[in-house]
């Protein structure tokens, strides 16, 4: 696949998302389809921990940003802001068990989570039918699997 092919596929995807009303909240869905919103990267502090802020804007049933990128596994201090007139919640992935924040209208909370391995983690608001309405988002942790967790097999070709 060439870069031109990849650009065409991305443009086609954008056109289809728009055609079916899946490119934003309050169209075909109240929120957003997972993975179709904005993207942001967490800021790394000098001690290696990361920090970021996500929010629910007023009258939008979606997380902003919809995808949060962590440059590596480790601790993340996440500020969660609910600017909406409705009560929501935030159920976050975390090694050792999920973390829960209750978010009254116009409130904010803070959670410290640990995601030590690369991968794709999703979180949502389990309050009411928030998940069904599109209040879901993702955290993507970049990096390699640590040597002790790798399978004993020959090296694989990487793109």
List, for residues 36-91, the tens digit of each pLDDT value: 778 899 999 999 999 999 999 998 888 999 899 999 999 999 999 999 999 999 99
Q: How much is the pLDDT for 18?
A: 78
β pairing state of 136-141 and 119-124: antiparallel
135 closest CA partner among 52, 58, 70, 63: 63
On whether the CB atoms of residues 144 and 116 are closer than 8 A, the answer is no
On whether the CB atoms of residues 118 and 145 are closer than 8 A, the answer is yes
Whole-model pTM over 0.85: no
89 closest CA partner among 62, 129, 124, 137: 124
CB atoms closer than 10 angstroms to residue 27: 13
């Amino acid at each position: 696949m060439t870069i031109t092919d990849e650009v065409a596929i991305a443009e086609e995807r954008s056109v289809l998302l728009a055609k079916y009303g899946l490119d934003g909240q309050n169209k075909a869905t109240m929120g957003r389809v997972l993975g179709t919103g904005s993207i942001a990267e967490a800021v790394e502090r000098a001690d290696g921990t990361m920090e970021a802020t996500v929010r629910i804007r007023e009258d939008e049933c979606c997380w902003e940003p919809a995808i949060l990128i962590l440059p590596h596994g480790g601790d993340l201090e996440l500020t969660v802001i609910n600017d909406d007139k409705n009560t929501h919640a935030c159920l976050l992935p975390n090694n050792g068990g999920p973390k829960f924040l209750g978010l009254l209208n116009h409130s904010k909370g803070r959670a410290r989570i640990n995601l030590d391995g690369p991968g794709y983690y999703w979180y949502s608001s389990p309050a009411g039918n928030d998940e069904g309405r599109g209040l879901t988002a993702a955290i993507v942790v970049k990096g390699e699997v640590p040597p002790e967790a790798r399978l004993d097999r020959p090296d694989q070709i990487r793109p």
